[in-house]
Amino acid sequence: MTFVFPKNFTWGVATASYQVEGAIHEDGRAPSIWDAFCAVPGAIEDHSSGEVACDEYHRYPEDITLLKELGVNAYRLSIAWPRIVPLADGKVNSKGVEHYIKVLDALRDAGIRPVVTLYHWDLPQYLEDQGGWANRDTALRYGDYVHALAEAFGDRVDTWTTLNEPWCAAYLGYGNGIHAPGVRDYGKALSAVHHLNLAHGLGALAVHDTLDERAKVSVTLNLSACVAQSDSEADRMAKHRNDLLSNEVFLGPMLDGAYDPEIFDVTTDYTDWSFIRDDDLKTIRQPVQCLGINYYSSTHVKGVTDPAECERRRNDHMQAVPAQDIVDALPPEGELTDMGWNQEPRVLTEMLVGLAKRYPGLDLMVTENGSAWKDEVTEDSSAPGGRIIHDPKRVAYLNHHIRAIADAIEAGVPVVGYFAWSLLDNFEWAFGYSKRFGIIGVDYETQKRIWKDSAYRYRQIIQEGI
């Protein structure tokens, strides 16, 4: 039976500024932590950077045409903070603002709703020089930046997403250091967690205060989809510990107004959390109209019980997240994507069902979902540009995961939208251009866009359901 999605369902594709824009020296943009990180030898697998990327900064009109051809009604893009506030003096760069106003207006003219991420990891380097997310001041600066955006963009934005995946920004950035700024310090990672939470609250406040309480605010989390390998006490404890540090550290303050005290108990080796100030939790918990979820794969875990092994793991920065000494992530199983990730769409359904139970009435939106595969280009004179990419595995992944969302909706979960990651192949962070997530391919030599079967399939699902 075909599942037909509700008429007003949001169908979109997502990108992020540093991954697609390029033009890093244009119109007064300042360096971001990713520019600096890419210059560190060995940081990026293929030694590349976002200097050119998909040249989206210049090619957005052409890419908006692609959006129309895909038949999506929304586009999730992010704003590059270093374009808006390039200097430590905090002044707004009108050229940066004007660029995004042109993009937002072009989207409106195309009938496509902009779902705007205000922070997708490209922190201005001058803020990192003062300690980055481990420094409270960064959250305050973020509040000012969002205030400026709310004033400048006004009603051009459909949904204001404060942060994308603070888990990655905090733990990959400051925990195991595989993302910018490349710091390996669990104490700093936890203080980054808190300051990102604070930034979320200040950003939400800035939007609601500047515009109107009805302005739609959301935040996008990549909640860890963790499955205990068995029902044993140790395995259940491992899942619990993982969920505490990966999920509860964000959900608790943002949506419930508190950190679970157990978080403090299990992180005493790394911090005393004295960076939490009076009223922070009040600031962090703001009304959100929608919760964004990014889902790619699941992780199965088992418990570690040997004390010597726990001790060894305690300061093992191979793990992004601190206090994972009792958590052993098992090797993924089944057919793995080019990222080495498993495919377990039912876990997405379960996560959505669980969230709907916990937060009744809160709209949920899958703001990223997709898969990387090794693609091959085929000459085909009937295809646009004479080339096409047949990507049956990406098509299958898309089918299974959109079906998983349909299952959640059938179970009564208010999932209001889906965004495929990504519109285009792009700069995949520490992997550079070696991983391709696009439903439209990019020939980086010529910047030509190449349709993949998955793009055609997505268009069909949007029209017909699944």
The 10 Å Cβ neighbour count of residue 346 is: 12
Tokens of 237: 């404890």
Tokens of 394: 């990406």
The 10 Å Cβ neighbour count of residue 434 is: 14
Residues 284, 197: contact at Cβ < 8 Å? yes
How many residues would you count in the chain? 466
Nearer Cβ to ligand GCO, position 80 or 276? 80
The least distance separating ligand GCO from the CB of residue 411, rounded to whole angstroms, comes to 25
Residues 438, 452: contact at Cβ < 8 Å? yes
Catalytic residue among 21, 128, 165, 428: 165
The least distance separating ligand GCO from the CB of residue 263, rounded to whole angstroms, comes to 23
Buried b (16+ CB within 10 A) or exposed e, 9-24: bbbbbbbbbbbbbbbb
Tell me which residue has tokens 């990327």.
53
Residue type, 96: G
Residue nearest to ligand GCO (CB): 165
Nearer Cβ to ligand GCO, position 325 or 375? 375
Nearer Cβ to ligand GCO, position 264 or 341? 341
The least distance separating ligand GCO from the CB of residue 430, rounded to whole angstroms, comes to 10
The least distance separating ligand GCO from the CB of residue 121, rounded to whole angstroms, comes to 7
Nearer Cβ to ligand GCO, position 257 or 340? 340
Question: 219 forms bridges with which residues in the sheet?
Answer: 291
Catalytic residue among 128, 248, 368, 428: 368
Q: What is the CA radius of gyration of the chain?
A: 21
464 belongs to the catalytic site: no
The least distance separating ligand GCO from the CB of residue 245, rounded to whole angstroms, comes to 18
> DSSP of 55-104, one letter per residue?
-HHHHHHHHHHHHHHHT-SEEEEE--HHHHS-STT----HHHHHHHHHHH
The least distance separating ligand GCO from the CB of residue 55, rounded to whole angstroms, comes to 18
Tell me which residue has tokens 């098992």.
330
- For helices 345-358 and 392-410, give the axis angle rounded to 10 degrees: 30
Instruction: State in Å, rounded, how far the first CA of the chain is from the last one.
Output: 8
Instruction: List, in sequence order, the alpha helices (H) in 315-447.
Output: 345-358, 392-410
The least distance separating ligand GCO from the CB of residue 423, rounded to whole angstroms, comes to 12
The 10 Å Cβ neighbour count of residue 339 is: 16
The least distance separating ligand GCO from the CB of residue 371, rounded to whole angstroms, comes to 9
CA distance readout (Å), 265 to 4, 130, 379: 47, 29, 59
Residues that bind ligand GCO (CB under 6 A): 16, 19, 164-165, 168, 222, 294, 368, 421, 428, 437
Helix (H) or strand (E) holding 157: none
368 belongs to the catalytic site: yes
Residue 401's closest CA among 289, 279, 293, 265? 293
Residues with catalytic function: 165, 368
